[in-house]
Amino acid sequence: MRVVVFLGMLAVGCAALWSPGSVAPARAALAGQLNSVRKSAPARGAVLYPLDEALQDALAGTWQHLGTGSWYGNSRVHACVYRNDRVFVVNVYCTLKEPNAFRLDVYSPTRGVVSIYAEAKVPISTVRRREYFSFNAETQPPPRPEAGVPPLALTMSFAALQRYERRRQERFLPACYGGVEIHRPRGGCLGELAPRAAQWAERNRAFLARPPDDWYRLVRELRALAGKHGKPLD
């Protein structure tokens, strides 16, 4: 399973329009599998999808609610999926009662997937970065055609995106990740992306240390929408 399965969240674990305002895996256990995948993800582009640019894309224009339902890797919690003209925006823990963890996934057909995870002792929308004990993120570029994952398209339905996410996770595609998990630094790139670890860390260091206002805005607005589109824990 990819990096977007987080510690402590297993238990947490229609076209309405709305104008819009995570990553601590068992990496060591997956490293051997991921390093063996040599044809999975492209190493193209000068910079892997940066966290701040993913947030900018998420906030670019009107959101359409595509659906609410189960999400790969979560047994008890539903995700809410939205779309604008650039990306899909997913509130992975879209519960009526706000949990103490929050995960945002942003899917771009051209730039890949960014996942950002935060956890604190209280609901994330009520605190700032200094009170998070986990704050980490992952970037994964679009899969190569030979990876066996169909291309991502913004015309996908909610069900089609669910299938895409399952296929993507099951392929163990290389990714870059970093941040802190329970106050412990984590970071690196796996598979063919390993040489880009320093570049990814440098590009996203400021975000992970002091996230921009766009981060807090997205948290607030997705949590507000969860009151409309979210579901109770199963």
Distance, in Å, from the CA atom of 88 to the CA atom of 131, rounded to the nearest integer, reads 28
The predicted pLDDT at position 75 comes to 74
Residues belonging to the chain: 234
For the sheet containing 17-18, what is the strand order?
A: 17-18, 63-70, 78-83, 88-91, 101-108, 112-120, 132-140, 176-181, 184-189
pLDDT band at 35 (very low <50, low <70, confident <90, very high): very low
DSSP-assigned letter for residue 95: B
- Model confidence at 38: pLDDT above 50: no
| Residue 9 is assigned to a structural domain of this protein | no
Full residue range of the structural domain in which residue 161 is found: 17-121+131-229
- pLDDT-based confidence at residue 42 (cuts at 50, 70, 90): very low
**194 located within any domain:** yes
**Residue 144: what pLDDT?**
87
Q: Is the dihedral of CA 157, 68, 7, 100 positive or negative?
A: positive
Report yes or no on 12 lying in a domain: no
Asked, for residue 93, whether it belongs to a domain, the answer is yes
Over residues 113-143, the pLDDT tens digits come to: 999 999 999 999 999 999 999 999 999 999 9
203, 159 Cβ separation under 8 angstroms: no
pLDDT of residue 145: 84
pLDDT score at 41 = 38
Task: Single out the residue of 91, 97, 114, 74 nearest to residue 207, CA to CA.
Answer: 114
Tokens at residue 190, please? 């796996």
pLDDT, mean over the chain: 84
Instruction: Tell me how many helices (H) and strands (E) the chain has.
Output: 5, 9
Q: Give the pLDDT mean for 163-188.
A: 94
Residue 174 lies in a domain: yes
Q: Is residue 187 part of a domain?
A: yes
Structure tokens at 219: 């948290």
* pLDDT for 110 beyond 60: yes
User: Does residue 7 belong to any structural domain of this protein?
Assistant: no
Inside any domain, residue 234: no
The whole-number pLDDT of residue 27 equals 39
Number of domains in the chain: 1
